[in-house]
Amino acid sequence: MPSNSIHVSALGTLTGIGVGPGDSDLITLKALKYLQAADVVAFPQGRSGRPGLAQTIIAPHLGQQQLLPLDFPYIFDPDQLTSAWQQAGDRVWHCLSQGQNVTFACEGDLSFYGTFNYLALSLECRHPTVQINRVPGICSPMAAVSALGLPLTMQSDKLVVLPALYTVDELDAILTWADVVVLLKVGSVYSQVWQLLHQRHLLEHSWVIVNATQPTQVVYRPLTTYPRLELPYFSLMVIRSGANPLP
- Please name the fold of domain 140-240: 3.30.950
Helices 78-97 and 116-126: crossing angle, nearest 10°?
70
Q: Options 3.30.450.80, 3.30.300.30, 2.40.370.10, 3.40.1010.10; which CATH number does 5-135 get?
A: 3.40.1010.10
Asked whether 152 and 140 are in contact (CB, 8 A), the reply is no
Domain limits, the chain: 5-135, 140-240
pLDDT at 190: 95
Burial degree of 160 (CB within 10 A; 0-12, 13-18, 19+)? middle
Query: What digits encode the pLDDT tens for the residues 65-124?
Result: 999 999 987 767 788 888 989 999 999 999 999 999 999 999 999 999 999 999 999 999
Tens digit of each residue's pLDDT, the chain (247 residues): 344 443 445 899 999 999 999 999 999 999 999 999 999 999 999 988 889 999 999 999 999 999 999 998 776 778 888 898 999 999 999 999 999 999 999 999 999 999 999 999 999 999 999 999 999 999 999 999 999 999 999 999 999 999 876 678 899 999 999 999 999 999 999 999 999 999 999 999 999 999 999 999 999 999 999 999 999 989 999 999 976 555 5
Rounded to whole angstroms, how far apart are CA atoms 14 and 89? 11
Asked whether 71 and 49 are in contact (CB, 8 A), the reply is no
Q: Which secondary structure element, helix H or strand E, spans residue 160, and what is its range?
A: strand 159-162
Pair type for strands 159-162 and 40-44? unpaired
Query: What does the buried/exposed string (b/e) look like for 120-138 if buried means 16 or more CB atoms within 10 Å of the residue's CB?
Result: bebbeeebeebebebbbbb
Give CA angle at 194 (192, 197), nearest 5°.
115
Asked whether 157 and 244 are in contact (CB, 8 A), the reply is no
First-to-last alpha carbon distance for the chain, in angstroms, is 66
Who contacts 226 (Cβ-Cβ below 8 Å, separation ≥6)? Answer: 194, 208, 220
Who contacts 57 (Cβ-Cβ below 8 Å, separation ≥6)? Answer: 19, 20, 22, 23, 24, 27, 105, 107
Q: Which of 244, 223, 211, 38 is nearest to 135 (CA)?
A: 38
Please report, for residues 34, 60, 137, 166, the alpha-carbon distance to residue 25 in angstroms, rounded to integers and kept in the order given. 15, 9, 12, 32
Q: What are phi and psi of 181, to 5 degrees?
A: -125, 130
Burial degree of 176 (CB within 10 A; 0-12, 13-18, 19+)? exposed
Asked whether 109 and 18 are in contact (CB, 8 A), the reply is yes
